[in-house]
């Protein structure tokens, strides 16, 4: 049995931090110690922010983005071009495009890619919601709706793009692709 050097609360904090992407047990211990030393400046505000986010954060019923507003802030933004939907795999891609100010339209977050080998089929992704969304958008004869597939250039990403293209075929919609997709969680 290993000897404990801290109480269980700190041990729990370290174990949770170690689950963060990019943090192993060692850096988790360092982060925990930093938080504890900066109790009033970081630890308390972080705990409050985390509790508040946990309370309020939700998946947008329209686009699959995560936000504390539902429908999300982007879906409710009337200054965006509502005739264009950019389809991304993950919320991280949406955030990357927003940080790059690359898009001034709406989004649709699939929540992954089709991957038969991993048992991920269309019903596991927000694809039906996308089709319904496009079908229910009133058509403007002068400017048909546009769906931009910004999925990654992986085999799964391209399979997903083909599948969606097929599904949207009968709807009055222009489908384009972002040639190289976007870097996942790109900084
Ligand atoms: Zn939304």
32 CA distance to ligand 1 middle (Å): 34
Contact 88, 97 (CB under 8 A): yes
15 CA distance to ligand 1 middle (Å): 33
153 CA distance to ligand 1 middle (Å): 24
Residue written as token pair 């998946």: 59
pLDDT digits (tens, 9 = 90+) for 111-156: 999 998 899 999 999 999 999 999 988 777 777 899 999 998 899 9
117 CA distance to ligand 1 middle (Å): 30
Bridge partners of 85, per DSSP, are: 106, 147
Neighbours of 162 (CB within 10 A): 12
- Measured in whole angstroms, the distance separating CA 153 from the mean position of its chain's CA atoms is 18
Bridge partners of 105, per DSSP, are: 81
| Helix-strand-coil split of the chain, %, nearest 5 | 45, 15, 40
Average pLDDT over residues 63-91: 95
**Confidence category of residue 11, pLDDT binned at 50, 70, 90:** very high
Average pLDDT over residues 79-98: 94
Average pLDDT over residues 145-171: 93
Contact 147, 175 (CB under 8 A): yes
97 CA distance to ligand 1 middle (Å): 15
Average pLDDT, the chain: 90
Using a pLDDT cut of 70, give the percent of the chain over it: 94
Non-local CB neighbours of 167 within 8 Å, separated by 6+ positions? 127, 131
Whole-structure pTM value: 0.81
Bridge partners of 87, per DSSP, are: 108, 149
138 CA distance to ligand 1 middle (Å): 18
128 CA distance to ligand 1 middle (Å): 15
């Amino acid at each position: 049995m290993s000897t404990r050097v801290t109480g269980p609360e700190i041990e729990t904090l370290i174990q949770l931090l170690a689950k963060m992407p990019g943090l192993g047990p060692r850096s988790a211990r360092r982060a925990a110690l930093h938080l504890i030393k900066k109790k009033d400046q970081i630890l308390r505000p972080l705990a409050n922010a985390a509790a508040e986010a946990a309370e309020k954060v939700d998946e947008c019923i329209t686009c699959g983005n995560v936000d504390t507003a539902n429908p999300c802030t982007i879906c409710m933004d009337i200054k965006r071009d509502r005739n264009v939907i950019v389809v991304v795999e993950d919320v991280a891609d949406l955030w990357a495009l927003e940080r790059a100010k690359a898009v001034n339209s709406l989004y649709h977050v699939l929540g992954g890619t089709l991957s038969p080998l991993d048992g991920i089929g269309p019903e596991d992704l927000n694809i039906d919601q996308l089709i319904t969304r496009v079908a229910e958008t009133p058509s403007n004869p002068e400017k048909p709706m546009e769906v931009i597939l910004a999925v990654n250039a992986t085999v799964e990403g391209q399979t997903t793009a083909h599948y969606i293209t097929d599904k949207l075929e009968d709807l009055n919609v222009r489908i384009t692709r972002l040639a190289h997709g976007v870097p996942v969680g790109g900084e």
